[in-house]
Amino acid sequence: MKNPLDSLWGTVISGVILTAILYAIVKSILASAGA
């Protein structure tokens, strides 16, 4: 499998996917903390 970081588009798309994953994690942390 090709490394997505070898292309600019692969890098940007990976960043957006990572944002979505981290967003879900942070949202659940904030929800469980009742913040």
Told to check if 3 binds another protein by CB under 8 A, we report: yes
Strands (E), the chain: none
How many residues bind another protein (CB under 8 A)? The answer is 21
CB of 3 to another protein, least distance (A): 8
Binding flags for another protein, 5-34, as an x/- string (CB under 8 A): xx-x--xx-xxx-xx--xx-xxx-xxx-x-
Apex 23 CA angle, 16 and 34, nearest 5: 175
Q: What is the DSSP letter of 4?
A: G
Which distant-in-sequence residues (6+ apart) come within 8 Å of 4 by Cβ? 10, 11, 13, 14
**Interface residue list for another protein (CB under 8 A):** 3, 5-6, 8, 11-12, 14-16, 18-19, 22-23, 25-27, 29-31, 33, 35
